[in-house]
Structure 1
Amino acid sequence: MGGGERLCRPLHEDLGRVMVAGTRLAVRDLTVSYGAHQVVRQISFDVAAGSTSALLGANGSGKSTTVKALTGINRAGEGSCVSLNGDTIKARDLAPRETRRRGIRVVHQEAPLIANLTVAEMMAHHTGFPVTAGIVKRRELIRDAAETLGEFDVHVDPNRLCGELDAGDRALVSLAISMAGIPVDSALLILDEATASLSSADADRLLRRVHDATQRGLSVLMVTHRLSEVSSYADETLVLRDGHIARTFVREDFSEDEAIAAMVGVKHIEGEVDRRGAHEATSMPADADLRVEGLSGRQVCGATFGCAAGEILGVTGRNGAGASELLRLVGGVARATAGRVTIGGADLEPGSPRSAILEGVYFLSSDRINEGGVPLMTVGENMLLPRVERYGLGRRQARADVDRLMDELAVSPGDPTVPFGSLSGGNQQKVLLSRWLLMSPRVMLLDDPTAGVDPKTREVIFGQLRALADQGICIVIRSSEPEHLARLCDRVLVIRDGHIAMQLDGDDLTLEEVTHATFA
């Protein structure tokens, strides 16, 4: 070691274990800051050789930030210490190329495969093409790819185009690509929500392949929201909350209830998933204005529910379970394969946003740029875009309406002539919400509207939604934050594997219950 480089110290006994000779990854005093705000606060943990450690935590707890620091995407604080296979990596050397070279590999939630490349070409894109005199040796290319796929028992033709693979095969190919060129017994594999968009069957296929590799010495750090995966595969579980390790479990002591309690910061949660008041959500309010019956799409299967005028209905579920698609189907943004949606008795045309808009049903996407505003148009133009003809030559009235809503939602800067793309994410979301408020909505469908916005902006948006409900408008909101649903909603529907699994309301609509129902 160089004179200025220090070895990672062993974990103290009060953290539950000491560093042993079989440690693959040792992390000590890891900190990550965004400006003056410290997001990860001196966390320390080990991942043993040939073992799987799970990293749990609610959104904003520091999971993704930790993973990005370990892979060099985020800069770790100078006091941080990371050691891989006994070799210490200086904080300044935690860069993507260097961490990959040393043996830290990642499989992400969305497998980053290029659709028009074959599986073999995609692998070579990462490991290098075998060439002679500038000509690719195709036989060797295919042979190398087949060997790498075979190492993880992945039965995919190397000549297939990546764009032809289903979600399960894409994940398996991504696993093989990430591990190409390194022995499993010296590598750390990070599964960064790798199963989030997979069905339970495909997720299990992937995790069984990974588990088989741990028997050959692979070490795994698994970031997931699926507690059943933690129960089945994790040897140790770390629960992050507010940038700290709130609790550590070994396999024998892991409890889903206790893990959720640690995630949300309560002492204990009693009982199983099906609690009093958590019931099948197949009935709908007798006075439902919005009625959804047997609605199906790519993920959603046979959803039936209703929302009454003046009600705020929450929808939640793990990534890929179908909660987001449900709102898109109701709003006509995605085409349904079966089912019926009515508002006040009027049928909406399947897969037709125009039909929904004409009936006063408006969808607000979580993707503010690609499915929301036009960056180069002004704030005012974005707000008026859906019904610009409504104002005709009445520019004075248009400006008055824009100014009024910008003031109500505290859009900053308060100048409607600035480009939409120059606004912060939270102010962009306020503008997009204002757009639909100008249309006199009957139903608002909001897909994670406060994702990535600051707390002050979130409260402004929540206040506006409560005011809309008080005016008799139906509000259906999906959120990735159980706390927000518990605070805001009258009822919450929980989606699992495309089905509405349960409904939470009354005394059971609490942070703990929503968290448990979502992640268990």
Structure 2
Amino acid sequence: MIMENLLELNNIWKVFDGVPVLKGLDISLAKGQVHAILGGNGSGKSTLMKIISGTYQSSNGTIKYLGKEVNFTRPYQAHREGIYLVPQEPKIFPYLSILENITIGLSKVNGETIEKVKSIAEKIGFKVSLRDDAGKLTIANQQLVEIIRGLIRDAKVLILDEPTSTLTVKEVKSLFDIVRPLLKNDIGVFFISHRINEIFDFSDRISVLRDGNIVLSGNTSNFKPIDLIKAMIGNSDYNVSQNCNTKYDIGKVILSVHNLSSEVFKDISFDVRESETLGIAGIVGAGRTELASAIVGLEPYHSGEVIMDGKKLIPCDAKSAREAKISYIPEDRHKYGIFLDIPFYETISSEILKKISKVFLNKKQEKEISKKYVDELKIKVLNDEQYSRMLSGGNQQKVVISKILTTEPKVVILDEPTRGVDAKAREDVFQIVRNLKKKGVAVILISSDLEEVINNSDRIIVIHSGKINLELDKKDFSMEIITQASFGVI
């Protein structure tokens, strides 16, 4: 049976700063259909959905909705026409009632609107009083509030962006049981997920994105999980013996994590040795950043322990981690790592001000220390008063690395260290890592770029849904196996 299309996208391109991230995509959504969108980190999934929902505009191509060409420039325009994006993290106003959260932004809320909300809530099995504060809702019910928001606006297209990433198995089943009946009303669903088993359970059609292209598309029944994995990684596989030939004298265990558990990750255990790089692979949302934050005392954990150089660290105590010589370079360097609107040298010296200053700041010594790292790390600056904001992304990252090197760390945790930097700066960053290893420093590398993890690690652990799913030594590194483990196929 031929299904009538709700939405058709033809030759969709999206270019950011001259770099294409979507490359001539053709994709459609039929009435009553669940179309799953799968792809690795950075494949273009979110960009595509933001174009459909009006957050971004395509650089080229056409979108037809209900047979008519549309060009949404704002999300509210898409909402008005019946296209609604349910985000991965529900946007809830905790001190407003559930009803107020659902109807927020509507031009008119009257008795008829309220009855419509009640009717939809009843149909989808939402059993919480609409008068209750939204802040009391479980994550699963927050997702339902987002879905009701879409349906109250007469949505014909629902985009579910990783809706199950924070749900229990029971809550996932409940969500699917609620969404399936909606398909009978000719609603179509784009379903983005990293959980391949859910894609096969829930979808009618699958499209796989890689590097901004659709590389596989068809009815779900035509594929097996391994087909999707191979489509995501292409023909590439890596034997690390061709890469990373430098040998290091790996020393004693310096950091041990024993049975660490939180709300996000469960029963994590591993060791890291002197002069070793432990790569942590996994998809976005797997719990890698939360794990790193817990190790350095920035996020809580409810059981387990972190032992550094034979001494147990105090949980949720960043000072304890710093004093033990663990340094962390976070994923968002602008938010947590660098001071943009002061001279760059002040960021470099910020971790050791107590050490180099007495009553007053010693600007001369700050600049001398800064110059040492400018020379060693080849940071390109115009003068020593240049603001960090004026540096390139790669040089900003080198400033952040310089800051943690001033503390003479024994363990360095790098979270997405090359995000937003060019190829030359990437190589510079990993040359710095190699120099650290020569000095006996242990490195934990978290990266969504599998090539980067494989080429720069001595061992790799793969985290899936908050648990270690696989551990590999260098001789066993395989792009395909690591990808399968990241998506929970093995």
Under a length normalisation based on structure 1, what TM-score does the superposition of the two structures give?
0.84
CA distance in 2, matches of 1:414, 1:170: 50
Does residue 118 of structure 1 match 2:100? no
Q: For 1:100-499, list aligned pairs within 5 A.
A: 100-130=79-109, 143-182=115-154, 187-266=156-235, 287-392=252-357, 395-499=363-467
Amino acid at match of 1:327: A
Q: Deviations over 1:298-352 (max 9, x none)?
A: 2222222110111111223344332222111111111222222111112211111
**CA 1:24–1:450 in structure 2 vs 1: closer, same or farther (change >3 Å)?**
same
Shift of 1:220: 1.0
Report if the CA contact (8 A) 1:121-1:141 is conserved. Answer: no
Report if the CA contact (8 A) 1:297-1:338 is conserved. Answer: yes
CA distance in 1, matches of 2:313, 2:237: 45
Shift of 1:425: 4.3
CA distance in 2, matches of 1:399, 1:382: 11
**CA 1:242–1:419 in structure 2 vs 1: closer, same or farther (change >3 Å)?**
same
CA distance in 2, matches of 1:109, 1:509: 31
Runs of 4+ residues over 6 Å off in structure 1? none
> How many residues are aligned here?
474
Does residue 513 of structure 1 match 2:473? no
Per the alignment, in what secondary structure is the counterpart of residue 329 of structure 1? Answer: helix
Match of 1:77 among 49, 54, 59: 59
Shift of 1:267: 7.7
CA distance in 1, matches of 2:260, 2:231: 36
Unmatched 5+ stretches in structure 1: 1-18, 132-136, 270-284
Unmatched 5+ stretches in structure 2: 239-249
Shift of 1:86: 1.4
Let me know the Cα RMSD of the aligned residues. Answer: 2.5
Per the alignment, in what secondary structure is the counterpart of residue 370 of structure 1? Answer: helix
Report if the CA contact (8 A) 2:262-2:300 is conserved. Answer: yes
**CA 1:351–1:211 in structure 2 vs 1: closer, same or farther (change >3 Å)?**
same
**CA 1:343–1:21 in structure 2 vs 1: closer, same or farther (change >3 Å)?**
closer
**CA 1:357–1:43 in structure 2 vs 1: closer, same or farther (change >3 Å)?**
same
Q: Deviations over 1:227-281 (max 9, x none)?
A: 1221111211111122221111321122221211111112899xxxxxxxxxxxx
**CA 1:324–1:145 in structure 2 vs 1: closer, same or farther (change >3 Å)?**
same
Match of 1:9 in 2: none
Amino acid at match of 1:499: K
CA distance in 2, matches of 1:268, 1:446: 24
Q: Greater shift after overlay, 229-238 or 311-320? A: 311-320
**CA 1:154–1:419 in structure 2 vs 1: closer, same or farther (change >3 Å)?**
farther
CA distance in 1, matches of 2:236, 2:430: 28
CA distance in 1, matches of 2:2, 2:375: 60
Under a length normalisation based on structure 2, what TM-score does the superposition of the two structures give?
0.89
Per the alignment, in what secondary structure is the counterpart of residue 259 of structure 1? Answer: helix
CA distance in 1, matches of 2:333, 2:180: 38
Amino acid at match of 1:125: I
